[in-house]
Structure 1
Amino acid sequence: MPPPTVNPINDNDAGSPPPPPEQLSPLDAIVMGLRFYSRLPTGDSPHLPLNFGKMIHFLPMASLIMGVFPALTILLLGALGVQSLFVATVAFAMSAVITGAMAEDAFGDAMDGLFGGHDVARRLEIMKDSRHGTYGVLGLIAPFMLRVITLGTLISLSPVAGAILWLVASMLARQTAPIVAVMLPPARSDGASAGAGILAKKDFFFGFAPALALFSFFALLLAGPIGLILALAFGAGLCFFWLKLLTKLLGGQTGDTIGALQLLLEIAALSAFILI
């Protein structure tokens, strides 16, 4: 997982220092989320110290902002009758540019580390290496193909439904992935996850509840009750499996394992929607 894009406070700025993290306004939290999870321009306001627990409260809004341009691209190209797999590929390529391929890189690193090392120390060492091995390369290719195929299938049925379902699925996936920081301690003493520490349950659920409600509304509307139930069941089962795997192989979590789970949850939801 690449280092967070939140920059240190500019010591040259005149005036009083920025408010402490607990005083973050909703707008501050949204901007912080955009700076952490994306490469979108956010203006020249001072970069506040990262507070993951407060930022996650308004992460659903930041996620929707990050996904709106790829979703609009799906609608536009779909309305023009462009082949659905091509549309899905363009949308995911655009999403990767917007997010800096953060989740994709995390998944590749996690695959290299989890399955390329023989003990915890070696797995963490491999995971921190910016180079990708065989597991990492496959971890980049396979998820991209799965997302293109599943989203392309949805777009072929309805570009509008495909765009909306992908938008809310990616939002909920990003919001749910930090569950590993709630349930598991950091596996190493440095890195983004260690800096964030163990995420409080109340902070997690503060942002998770509205994300789940929005996802459930549109999934029920566009995919029906079976689609919604399958998506939630796939996601819950995947979280359970991932937590067990991390406990066994790492004894904790890292930023890469959070980003990897985000990608897996997005694939799980899209896969559920094409099975109905």
Structure 2
Amino acid sequence: MNTDKTQSQAVSSGWQYQWQLFLVALAFFTRIPIPKETPFTTERLNHANRYFGVIGIVVGLLISSVYLVSSILLPASVAIALAMISGLLITGAFHEDGLADVFDGFGGGWTVESKLNIMKDSRLGTYGAAALFMGLGIKWVTLIELAKLNPLLPAYAFIVVHSLSRVAAASLIFSYPYVRADQDSKVKPLANQQTRSDLQILLGTAIITLLVLPWPIAIMLAIITLLVRQGCGYWFQRQLGGYTGDCLGATQQLAEIAGYLTLLAIATHYHF
């Protein structure tokens, strides 16, 4: 009897800990409020990366809801714009900021130190503004084209691609060293020791997400996302010798764009 009770308490405690890790990830990557009593430590943030793909699903579902409701009364182009705006508000443009900072740093810096210093600067430069403008623009146009083929496609795309792109970004933590001139960076705790369970849950989320798609499309989307992930990792390694928090944000954005383009290319030639 006592043994059963102890095991039950252990399972309950385990699920509670996982729920708290999810809430930490939710608070870190979105503006969605969580209970104030949720315990937060750098160790919990370190292991919360396992749920970054799940956060993508949550964000994707919220954005899709805005799109579907808006499309009832408004043209698809406006509904998509409103959905994208809602995404920026939900995440606080967290990843878009990383994209802009990376292009500013890599475009304007000549040494690793100068690139890191530029990326740390809160001001937006020409390279970053151009990357941000073109990134948002190509997402909007691609999603409009998807809506023309099937009004429901953008809703599916939001959910699947937001999840996969975050898995791609978070997975870089397991493969490359963290580099940062500013040791107080808020992303630094994520660079500490990762466990096999963290990676398994992260990749498991991607696999589950892909199951909603026909297998040929799922395979193609997985390959493209992996290629973007590998390309970004190689790019960051060459430029900095590793990654920063901004690099993770840039990877998410580039993988998101690539995901939408992949789905559009497939949908243009094959009905699904």
What TM-score bracket applies, with the shorter chain setting the length?
0.7 to 0.9
Deviation at 1:32, TM superposition (A): 0.5
What is the TM-score when the length of structure 2 is the normalising length? Answer: 0.84
| Aligned twin of 1:215 | 209
CA contact (8 A) 2:67 2:155 kept: yes
How far apart are the structure 1 equivalents of 2:195 and 2:169? 13
| Aligned twin of 1:155 | 147
Deviation at 1:140, TM superposition (A): 1.2
CA contact (8 A) 2:21 2:45 kept: no
How far apart are the structure 1 equivalents of 2:17 and 2:70? 37
Task: Extract unaligned runs of 5+ from structure 2.
Answer: 1-13, 267-272
- SS class of match (1:159): coil
Matched, 1:25 2:17: yes
CA contact (8 A) 2:225 2:259 kept: yes
Deviations 1:87-106 (A, max 9, x none): 21111110000000000011
Q: Call closer, same or farther: CA 1:95–1:30 in 2, change over 3 Å.
A: same
Q: State the identity %.
A: 24
| Aligned twin of 1:67 | 60
What is the TM-score when the length of structure 1 is the normalising length? Answer: 0.83
Q: Call closer, same or farther: CA 1:52–1:86 in 2, change over 3 Å.
A: same
Task: Extract unaligned runs of 5+ from structure 1.
Answer: 1-21
| Aligned twin of 1:261 | 251
- SS class of match (1:39): coil
Q: 2:69 aligns with which of 72, 76, 85?
A: 76
Give 4+ residue runs of structure 1 displaced > 4 Å after superposition. none
Bigger relative CO (Cα 8 Å, ≥ 6 apart): 2
CA contact (8 A) 2:59 2:162 kept: no
Bigger CA radius of gyration: 2
Q: Which moved more, 1:102-111 or 1:147-156?
A: 147-156
| Aligned twin of 1:125 | 117
What is the root-mean-square deviation of aligned Cα atoms in Å? Answer: 2.1
CA contact (8 A) 1:168 1:214 kept: no
Name whichever structure is richer in helix by fraction: 2
Deviation at 1:172, TM superposition (A): 1.5
| Aligned twin of 2:51 | 58
Deviations 1:95-134 (A, max 9, x none): 0000000000110001101121001000000000000110
